[in-house]
Amino acid sequence: MFTTNKNKLVVLLALGAFATFGMMAYTPDKPQEGYKNLQVLPKDISHEDLDKVMHGFNDALGVKCMYCHVHEGDDFRQGWKFDSDDKPEKGIARHMLRMTMGINSTYFNFENSTRTDTIHAVTCITCHRGIAHPDAKGIQEQMAGGMGGMKMSPPPPPPTPPGAPNKN
């Protein structure tokens, strides 16, 4: 009988030690502290969603990260100062983001959603089409097939909001 109790005690001690070491080895992920200096995008945006937005800017404007963000040093993986407002392009990007959000919520929010982040009828690429400064001359050249682009037709007129009189 003493042997049986001794075996049970050894098993219990081993399980206890295993559980203790397991708890000591477990380091839960630190909660994300949030990004610094987000003024338009949600403060609790996920890393994946922020990457999608930033890569969308890259594609729509035909630029790289350094167009808006400060980078110091030779190592591309380090030296980023994402929260810096030293480049005016970052302020312009914020203004343009607010503008497209306003256009989408005003003219394309037919269901009266309060979530403007889900309405994407107008995006950066709508006007930029891969060029950083889509001035009138640049857009005309692009539509005529210049600047290495394909010939494009002019965009259609905006849709008539529900309830507005139809001009046809």
pLDDT of residue 39: 93
pLDDT of residue 31: 46
* Torsions phi, psi for 105 (to 5 deg): -70, -30
pLDDT of residue 156: 67
pLDDT of residue 6: 79
pLDDT of residue 145: 64
Q: Which residues contact 63 (CB under 8 A, 6 or more apart)?
A: 57, 132
Residues 78-103: pLDDT tens digits? 899 999 999 999 999 999 999 998 88
Which parts of the chain register pLDDT below 50?
A: 29-31, 147
pLDDT of residue 61: 94
